[in-house]
Amino acid sequence: MRIPFLLVAITSAAVTAQSPQPNWTAIEAETLKHFEAIIRMDTTDPPGGEKPVADYLKQVLEAEGLPVQVFSKEPHRPNIVTRIKGTGKQRPLLLMAHTDTVNVDPKKWTHPPFSAARDGGYIYGRGTVDDKDNVVATLMVMLMLARQHVALDRDVIALFEAGEEGSSSIGIQFVANEHFDAIDSEFCYAEGGSVVRSGGVVKFASVQTVEKIPRAISVTARGVAGHGSVPLETNALAHLGEAVGKIALWTPPMRLNETTAAYFKRLATVSTPEEAKRYQDLLSPDPKVSKPADDYMRKHEPRHWSMLRTSLSPTVIAGGYRTNVIPSEGTATIDTRLAPDEDPAKFLEMVRQVVNDPQVEVSYGARDTRPPTPAAKLDSDAFKALEANLTKHYKAVTLPTMSTGATDMAFLRRKGVQCYGIGPATDVEDGPKGFGAHSDQERILESELYRFVRFNWDAVVDLARAK
């Protein structure tokens, strides 16, 4: 259903790239004000309820004279779009961020999850690194573009979307399918990457250019029901357990692609000699060289091991209803992340061959998934702008990265938009300590929030300004 929206065109004034730089002291204060405001709004999904943040953003943008479009499949879960027009010599750049967050258990938080508490140089709260950091960075870039009157060859569009954490049908799917003309772009910058710090020192930057395809494999074992005191060879749960074990221990074939090959090649340049050799060995066409490195990844670097192939993780098992009854059926769910070039049907047949049990059925189950999409190009102007500014602001080597998880960029890549995932600097130590995204103490360094805004500003201006 199409709903009314406000659309007013605003064109960037013909001012060259020599426009004065923003007053960064004032920008940091304004960034903090907006960031605290949106962190304090509970937009956990489910149920969603992103409208307070959307209304806030709409008010701030319109106060600056920027146009706003509102697209809502559900009234309390709006998506908003704003645009600053350029000359049209180049196709638009889209900046995308989501306004919802995952849920919280307030009892587990030291600082209340919607307090935006400032403590020890950090800002705490749900969404601080997923994804209200991107929301506020995008907001500030749009405000600064308007204030600085930067002459643009590209329109710069901002999409603040609902539903990324579990309801994409009311967010990016809805906007991409029903209102794509409002966001049609050549390039998109969104969440999905990061600047990696260890011990307070930047190690490298990752820019997501492709992602794995989430699917669910259902494994169902069937047998004869009976009394628990009489063991049966046909016990469904016994066959299910054996099948799940086979799947979990199986090593699917390694599948390097352009992104992952470039990732490990560049990662080797910022690693210790011992680590570098392993990453270089992964690229060898000789299995005698690559397999020992691959085996090491499985044991010691599971995320890297997952980046090398389609992955399978048993996550749910269901079967039986009382101790003294042998059930006739049991089911397991396998979280499956297909490599971008994996043939789903052929891979499923491989899993069936691994299980090799006539009592066990293996099939794809239903789940809210993302579509398979091509990778973004590594030689595009958009990637070059990110790489140059990651070097400028972070002194970091840029690693093109394949995400093992899923993002909403998949829906745009399917439409032909070249999408790149970025993110602020975070400490690798934060995740295991419970300070990362989706954790019970989610936080961001205040100084890194401000640096992320500056990085976004320079990357956008470098790509979109009039040449």
3 state DSSP class of 336: strand
pLDDT in tens, 214-263: 999 999 999 999 999 999 999 999 999 999 999 999 999 999 999 999 99
What is the pLDDT, as a whole number, of residue 20? 67
Residue 88 backbone class (left: φ over 0; alpha: ψ -120 to 50; beta: rest): left
What is the pLDDT, as a whole number, of residue 417? 98
What is the pLDDT, as a whole number, of residue 18? 52
Q: CA 248 from chain center: how many Å?
A: 25
Please choose, from the candidates 136, 114, 134, 116, the residue with its C-alpha nearest in 3D space to the C-alpha of residue 124: 116
Tokens linked to 52: 């307070």
pLDDT in tens, 41-100: 999 999 999 999 999 999 999 999 999 999 999 999 999 999 999 999 999 999 999 999
Contact 317, 332 (CB under 8 A): yes
Contact 445, 119 (CB under 8 A): no
Listed by start position, the domains of the chain span 24-210+375-464, 213-365
Contact 95, 135 (CB under 8 A): no
CA angle 188, 193, 194 (to 5 degrees): 135
Tokens linked to 437: 């995204």
Contacts of 432 (CB under 8 A, 6+ apart): none
C-alpha–C-alpha distance, residues 427 and 200, integer Å: 7
C-alpha–C-alpha distance, residues 429 and 297, integer Å: 19
Residue with structure tokens 């929206």? 5
Segments of the chain with pLDDT less than 70: 1-20, 368
Domain 24-210+375-464, CATH number (from 3.30.870.10, 3.40.630.10, 3.30.70.1290, 3.40.50.1110): 3.40.630.10
C-alpha–C-alpha distance, residues 68 and 8, integer Å: 7
Residue with structure tokens 């990110």? 386
State residue 435 phi and psi, 5-degree precision.
-110, 5
- Considering Cα of 215, then 221, then 225, then 230, what sign does the dihedral take? negative
Tokens linked to 126: 């749900």
3 state DSSP class of 391: helix
Query: Looking at domain 213-365, does it have CATH number 3.30.70.360?
Result: yes
CA angle 150, 156, 159 (to 5 degrees): 140
Q: Quick one: 55 exposed, middle or buried, by C-beta within 10 A (0-12, 13-18, 19+)?
A: middle
Contact 43, 171 (CB under 8 A): no
| pTM, 2 dp | 0.91
C-alpha–C-alpha distance, residues 293 and 297, integer Å: 6
